[in-house]
Chain A
Amino acid sequence: MSDGVRHLYVHLPFCAHRCGYCDFVTLVGRREGHGAYVDALLAELELEGRALADSVETVFVGGGTPTFTTPAELARLLAALPSAQEVTVEANPETVTSELAALLRSAGVTRVSLGAQSFQPELLAVLERQAGPDAVRGAFYHLRDAGFDNISLDLIYGIPGQSAAHLDLDLAEAIALGPEHLSCYELEAKPGTRFTFAHGGELVRQAEAMEGYFELVVERLVRAGYRWYETANFCRPGRQARHNLGYWLGEDYLGVGIGAVSTVGGLRWRNRPSLGGYLAALAEGRPPPREEEPLEPEVASRERLMLGLRLDEPVPLSRVEGAVDGAALARMERLGLAERRGGGLVLTPRGRFLGGGVTAELMAESPAKSTI
């Protein structure tokens, strides 16, 4: 948009511990380095901030574990960020004290995304999470007490050893807390992680049993009054994650911090994940090392299709021109997996359970092939 980028992502990579299944850009410990990193973040924001709109709509502080950052540095960072209608901070339950909740609240944070993952101690142990179920509940109440009326819980399903009954209990616990928003992810055992090394076999054995978990999650949450507004996200009316909604609607965003990605005006770039290079460059006022990826209009159009089909509202056909394989669309319509509605394209509920495959079908092939 010509009047500037309305979404800002800030990456805080520090964690107390790297969980076995995690493949994000994270750094363990290094408390003494937090100040230098915040300096660098603010320097990058200074460099790139001119791309931002006068009025920023959303800020998202993600990690890592943003709330593991030392309180003074976290406060300094939050104070320096542009104000926005929605300011979200990700938090791990064990880091959320009443003091921290108050700090976030007074720093202008409007929304907290709490990484609960599960309420079953043995499953949390499998995930190598540091918080037990009580810490999850405790964190939630600290946030409520501090005045947060927009809290999201992350849950993970498909954990090795997790039965359907376990999942049902987790969902019931989560619903009982009454968060405004829930993100439910199937555990991805990424190749090469030590988690997959340890649990891959078990997951293969359980694959058939776990096939119905996604349906169970949707069914329980929808019955509890949540809207299944995105493939993996559920909310009380009007409580979508507006920052993430920006991604799914194909809007531009600026990301700062190591490993952060920005997409602005047809160009995408990703900062390199190395901390040393990042700090060194910004200490000299230079942009950090990054990889650039120009987005051709047809690629951007395919991305809007891929992202838009994750939502429960139609993606306008005018936004995805040239990206839709017409023959595949006819086939998907015939199979009752996709439908055209009000000048837009949307997956049916069954289509959404098969969203990956259906979207792959619907995507027109990259024209790059014809250059061979």
Chain B
Amino acid sequence: MASLESIRNFSIVAHIDHGKSTLADRVLEVTQTLSRREMREQVLDSMDLERERGITIKAQAVRVLWRGYQLNLIDTPGHVDFTYEVSRALQACEGALLVVDAAQGMEAQTLANAYLATENNLEIVPVVNKIDLPQADPDATAAEVAQLVGESPDRVVRISAKTGQGIEEVLDAVVERIPPPEGDPDAPPRALVFDSSYDQYRGVVAFVRMVDGRFSTRQRMRAMAAGTRFEAEELGFFSPDRSPTPTLEAGEVGYVVTGLKDVSRLRVGDTLTAQEQPAAEPLPGYKDVKPTVFAGLFPTESDDYPNLRDALEKLKLNDASLFYEPETSQALGFGFRCGFLGLLHMEIVRERLEREFDLDLLVTAPNVAYRVLTKAGEQLEVHNPADMPREVELVEEPYIRTTTIVPKDFVGTVMELNNERRGRFHHMEYLSEDRVLLAYDLPLAEIVYDYYDQLKSRTKGYASFDYDVIGFEPGDLVRLDVLLAGDPVDALSLIVHRDGAYARGRALVDRLREEIPRQMFDVPIQAAIGSRIVARETIKAKRKDVLAKCYGGDITRKRKLLERQKKGKKRMKQVGSVEVPQEAFLAVLNLDGDRK
């Protein structure tokens, strides 16, 4: 049992690859939470995908002991799609280590993270990492970071997480500089759920930060926003494996095994309290997270549909923000329309489905949700371009306010990109002599198509980007259809701004012409807005396709050849009378990713 005074709760925030996970590993080692023998690389990132991509998807919390203090290290996802999860995790802390690579200097997410930490009133301890690298410039980097967080450069801790140099100083700084948690140990209990995971035997495990009061094992609890009631089967903390404990006290970080079989009944951001003598007010900040980006997921082998359904169910257990409903496409068969928090979230879900569940998937071009007023005066919300009525009175699309922070030399570049993407300038401010904040309002649909990649490559990775949805606005939007031999391919329909429709149609048609093999007849490929064709190409029919010789000696071989050919045809998707290989869909659906 620890008093508030002896507890420190903190996160490590860093730009990708600046050494956050290595530092976390080192902390476990130096505090002897894990012996060197038990260490494996990046212990905290338990999913394969996380380790491979070097990113953290699910937050985790681990408790270590240092010079008589209980330190709770709360790991955070580092990407804008998971801003909500990050801000929940930061809300559970009083301080953050801001880690910057001494060779790379400050980068986009360094800033975004620093601002996010400041917004959450966290004490920031700046850390310059990788000082052992020959190309490192610790002094310059320290000066930059110091300026950013308003500290003196000699307060910047210099370390090498790789060699272990400076780790003890970091831990001492956590104890000295980060304030202990505030809370009332005697008040009715309140705990913030900052993350959750699903255990197939024990149900939902909530990661919590106790703010007031205490919880005990077998505590009857209530989630204040969702109204869900359950009895805590186990309380504990991570070190880094689960360590059960009889109580969780005000200020501590730990987990609650809820036994709930459905993650949607306990969402991140909710407040746990006791069923008897509950707290009067929940902790602030709960927000129902809504998906902003939608795409169709289809198994390439139609036999895999039930497997995809099962896999989505399982993923959903660990990821309450994932939304899905069945979708049927003429071209792609049975699949699901899924909603995601953003593009990275989409990509992670897709990769997990393919990797952990061994599925081959076709993913349609992502789109946003549209509000439609039909000619008949009906209000619709459209998540799928194929559902967009061809005749509409009004279409509204979601708009976002973007905040981009760049070195001043890239201001023009970012403005140009935002103007290309139908952006509206909002304001601009100099954060320092060199750093500029640009605020633009953009249609969300415009960042769904490779905006990040463009921003990153055009600003050489120096941009830090974030956004908030600000509402819906009407737009001159049209539904662009692709027709093969006169038949519309529903999976390829897009909703685009009228001004960009011609170029998009042309690109789609050109790509399809390259990707679809010649057939037994001419195949016209058209891109159309309503009945107006905006682009057209033709795949000329094959002129010959014969097995030249077939006599007594090779009947078996020729038969097998044709049987294989028939099987190959089965793997193609039949669109009207046209056979389209999977690769053609993939190529077209990836069109936007290639637009560089």
Question: Which residues of chain A have a CB within 8 Å of any CB of chain B?
Answer: 9, 185-186, 188, 211-212, 214-215, 231-232, 244, 247-248, 253, 255, 259-261, 263, 268, 270, 293, 299, 302-303, 306-307, 310, 331, 334-335, 337, 352-361, 363, 365-366
Contacts and interface: CB of A to CB of B under 8 A. Distances in A.
Given A357-B565, A361-B566, A303 B544 contact: no
A365 B520 contact: no
Contacts of A215: 543-544
A259 B558 CA distance: 16
A257 B547 CA distance: 25
Contact of A363 (B521, B563, B577): B563
Given A335-B577, A355-B546, A361-B566, A302 B552 contact: no
A356 B546 contact: yes
Contacts of B577: 331, 334-335
Contact of B544 (A9, A211, A261): A211
Contacts of B553: 9, 255, 259-261, 270
Given A306-B562, A335-B577, A360 B569 contact: yes
A303 B566 contact: no
A263 B552 CA distance: 8
A15 B544 CA distance: 32
| Band of interface residues on B | 20 to 34
Contacts, number: 105
Interface string B258-273: 0000000000000000
Contacts of B554: 261
Contact of A356 (B543, B551, B556, B562): B562
Counting chain B CB atoms within 10 Å of each CB, the highest count among A307, A335, A356 belongs to: A356
Given A259-B553, A306-B562, A358 B543 contact: no
Contacts of B543: 211-212, 214-215, 353
28 contacts: A188-B548, A211-B543, A244-B551, A247-B552, A247-B555, A253-B552, A261-B552, A261-B556, A263-B552, A302-B563, A303-B559, A307-B550, A337-B520, A353-B544, A355-B545, A355-B547, A356-B545, A356-B562, A357-B545, A357-B565, A358-B545, A359-B562, A361-B566, A361-B569, A363-B562, A363-B563, A363-B566, A365-B567
B550 A231 contact: yes
Given A231-B550, A255-B552, A365-B570, A354 B545 contact: yes
B542 interface: yes
A298 to B, nearest CB: 12
A360 B562 contact: yes
A352 to B, nearest CB: 8
A365 B544 contact: no
B549 interface: yes
Nearest to B570: A365
B492 to A, nearest CB: 22
Interface string B380-404: 0000000000000000000000000
Contact of B521 (A244, A306, A335): A335
B566 A360 contact: yes
Nearest to A364: B566
A186 B550 contact: no
A214 B552 contact: no
Contact of A186 (B542, B548, B552, B570): B548
Nearest to B567: A365
A263 B549 contact: no
Nearest to B544: A214
A79 B556 CA distance: 32
Nearest to A230: B550
A358 B541 CA distance: 13
A352 B545 CA distance: 9
A337 B565 CA distance: 18
Choose among B544, B545, B567, B577 the residue with the greatest number of A CB atoms under 10 Å from its CB.
Answer: B544
Nearest to B551: A247
Contacts of B521: 335
A335 B570 CA distance: 19
B552 A357 contact: no
A9 B555 CA distance: 14
Nearest to B553: A261
Contacts of B555: 247, 261, 263, 268, 303, 306-307
A353 B550 CA distance: 15
Given A244-B551, A260-B553, A335-B577, A365 B566 contact: yes
Nearest to B563: A366
A244 B554 CA distance: 12
A306 B548 CA distance: 13
Going nearest first, the 7 A-B pairs with the smallest beta carbon separation are: A360-B565, A357-B545, A185-B548, A214-B544, A360-B562, A354-B545, A355-B546
A244 B555 CA distance: 12
Contacts of B548: 185-186, 188, 231-232
Nearest to A299: B559
A307 B76 CA distance: 67
A300 to B, nearest CB: 10
Given A354-B520, A363-B563, A247 B549 contact: no
A281 B565 CA distance: 38
Interface in B535-587: 542-556, 558-559, 562-563, 565-567, 569-570, 577
Contacts of A337: 520
Contacts of A355: 545-547
Nearest to B577: A331
A356 B546 CA distance: 4
